[in-house]
Amino acid sequence: MYYVGIDLGGTKIAAGIVDEKGTLIYKDSVPTKRERPYQEIIKDMAQLTLKIIKDKGLEVKDIASIGIGSPGTPDSKTGVLVYSCNLNFDNVPIREEMRKYIDLPVFLENDANCAALAESVAGAAKDVDDSIAITLGTGIGGGIVINRKIYSGFNCAGSEIGHMVIVSDGVECACGRKGCWEAYASATALIRQTKDAANANPESKINELVKGDLNKIDAKTAFDAAKLGDPVGEKVVNQYIKYIAEGLSNTINSFMPEAVVIGGGVCKEGEYLLKPLRERVYADIYCKGSVPKPYIRVAEMGNDAGIVGAAMLGK
């Protein structure tokens, strides 16, 4: 049997066919055009699903289920998307609408949770039962997998790990709180920290790398400067790694997963990021005596994590 996974984003709807091992064998996408009524968006999801099944030479009876990963807070029991800021959906009955077009079981989950499930089924956490996946992107997304199943809490609103305050009364976060991990350790935060350092230190390699145009600073700039031996770049990177470690150690102390998987563009820095991060986290977490410590690994599923995880909801 095969599984269809759909990654319903604010910009595009990506759908794929996934086998039982979590391998993506075919995918396609259409634009979301999110300003439309939800009925039209969901109709497009259904048609895209039927199209990829046909394109791959399969029939609906070859598909076990359809899984949908969406931003916001879905109710996975009822299949209703209760709340989504990105999609402007409010109590939208996604499952019911989908089933108007295709007679298959439809599962619904938060997209960050789907990404965590993908890592658990076929990625960097496939050898462990309990894992957490964190994505350091525009914000910080998090998903918890316990006993190889997503844990999203009684109201399916978990796990907003990025909205954990690590600096009481700190930098304002988009969620309304002050000092969230996301406001210090997301890629967006790193860019802000790099810009602040460049402004305060016009002689730094950071400024040189972007030829004085601070708007060109991205999440790589401080790392590039640090690798060139720039003390300002090094300071930004060290502080940023400390912020990642702070929230990661908090998360580990609370959940004690066997593996933490970190994703997002910044992970391309590889061991340059991971080695000092592990050192900090292993010094900080509450694993005393001979108690074993969790693995800290880089995500492996890349951009397809959302599709694969959504597909695996039905497995």
Q: Please give the residue ranges that form the binding site for a copy of itself (CB under 8 A).
A: 72-73, 82-83, 85, 90-91, 128-130, 142, 144, 146, 151-161, 163-168, 170, 175-177, 184, 242-243, 246, 249-251, 253-258, 283-284, 286-294
- The smaller minimum CB distance to a copy of itself, of residues 30 and 256, is found at 256
CB atoms within 10 A of CB 214: 16
> d(Cα 125, Cα 119) in Å, to the nearest integer?
5
Q: How far is the CB of 276 from a copy of itself (least distance, A)?
A: 17
In the bound state with a copy of itself, the residue whose beta carbon lies nearer, of 220 and 242, is 242
Closest approach of Cβ 129 to a copy of itself, in Å?
Answer: 7
Q: How far is the CB of 249 from a copy of itself (least distance, A)?
A: 7
For residues 157 and 298, which CB has a smaller minimum distance to a copy of itself in the complex? Answer: 157
Considering the complex, what minimum distance in angstroms separates the CB of residue 213 from a copy of itself? 31
What is the DSSP secondary structure assignment for residue 201, as one 8-state letter?
A: -
d(CA 76, CA 95): 10
| Closest separation in Å from C-beta 25 to a copy of itself | 32
Cβ distance to a copy of itself smaller for residue 228 or 286: 286
Q: Is the peptide bond before 159 cis (omega within 30 degrees of 0)?
A: yes
115 vs 156 by CB, closer to a copy of itself: 156
Identify the H or E element spanning 272.
helix 271-284
Min dist. Cβ of residue 2 to a copy of itself (A): 30
Contacts of 72 (CB under 8 A, 6+ apart): 81, 82, 83, 84, 85, 86, 87, 89, 110
Of 102 and 136, the one with the shorter C-beta distance to a copy of itself is 136
- When the beta carbons of 143 and 309 are compared against a copy of itself, the nearer one is 143
**φ and ψ of 63, to 5 deg:** -105, 130
CA angle 17, 21, 24 (to 5 degrees): 30
Nearest to 109 by CA among 128, 84, 127: 84
Place of tokens 């609103």: 157
Q: How far apart are CA 65 and CA 62, in angstroms?
A: 9
Does residue 149 contact residue 160 with C-beta atoms inside 8 Å?
A: no
Provide, rounded to whole angstroms, the least separation between the CB of residue 110 and a copy of itself: 11
